[in-house]
Amino acid sequence: MAVVDLPKIPVQEEYYYRQLSVNTFRIHNLNTNNLFCYVYHEATARKTQNDVCSFLVHYINSFVDDDVEELHLFCDNCAGQNKNHALLRMIMALVEIKKFKKVQVFFPQRGHSFLPCDRDFALIKKQLNRVDCLYTLEDYIELILKSSRNPEKLSVFLVDKSIIYNYQMWFPQFYIKNTNALECLSRNKTLKQRRTIEKFLISKYHYFECVSEKCGIIKASEFIDGIISNHFKLRKNNAMPIQLPKTLVYTSSLPILESKVKDVKQLAKYISEPALQSFWNYIIFSLQTETPQARQNRT
């Protein structure tokens, strides 16, 4: 996920003022080489596990054919967005509801890999350096489209809060958070081997796999293509039939820091009148604001 600040203007004062953060979540389909971007500003949504899970499910339901049986996800190791309990339970649920027969999640070692999305973001940054002014989300979306070498393979989706569901509060209904590896419970193990209990520590593993033949069980390995792996049963025994969350995370626009809105007002004199009327007046005068202390208490 990449972040760009708006407005982008060739004025020295811009360096000293805070701006509106615009987030971009990008999906690169390695099979078709199609690209898809989810773009939104900080008053629409955040950068949490709920947002990432919702974007992935929205993409799968909208752009992945029903006859696809296997899903391979390659993600970076960001714990707050990709490598977390909610995302892993989400892929387990997709297998259990028979959306896929098999899902594999790869977390390449940091510093030893270069994901296609990194290359895509580099092209956006290169195009961004060539532009002096960016005022609105529409300007930024147009820049993203121009940065692609194959515009016909690129789609941009302007995020609405109505597609973001609460996966963090959803998964405890159906899955436990931690357990011991099934291998530790085997009767064929010696007493000494059983005492070496393997816990489900997400940060430790770099490969996860779910298959329809073993619903509710996830396979984890410390290394991609590693020989040694562990299996963990995370599905609750007495849980009801699985269904994806239906509770929205955001019911209204998110508040922006008062100090940031004040800084944006200082930059308003440099923003073109059409952009000011169509976008920035709403940001400056209509959205709720909050103090740093209020944000700290909320989080």
Which residue type, as a one-letter code, is found at position 183? E
- State both tokens at 159: 């995020």
Annotated domain spans of the chain = 2-298
pLDDT at 195: 53
pLDDT at 182: 86
Evaluated on CA atoms 54, 55, 56, 57, the torsion sign reads positive
Q: pLDDT exceeding 70 applies to what percent of the chain?
A: 92
pTM above 0.95, yes or no: no
pLDDT at 297: 65
- State both tokens at 28: 């690169």
Strand partners, 37: 26, 156
Range 30-33 contact pairs with CB under 8 angstroms and sequence separation of 24 or more? 30/72, 30/74, 30/116, 32/153, 33/150, 33/153
pLDDT at 288: 78
Residues of the chain with pLDDT under 50: none
Evaluated on CA atoms 211, 212, 213, 214, the torsion sign reads positive
Number of residues that make up the chain: 299
pLDDT at 192: 52
Q: In the chain, which ranges are E strands?
A: 2-6, 20-28, 35-41, 70-74, 102-106, 154-158, 207-211, 217-221, 230-233, 256-257, 289-290
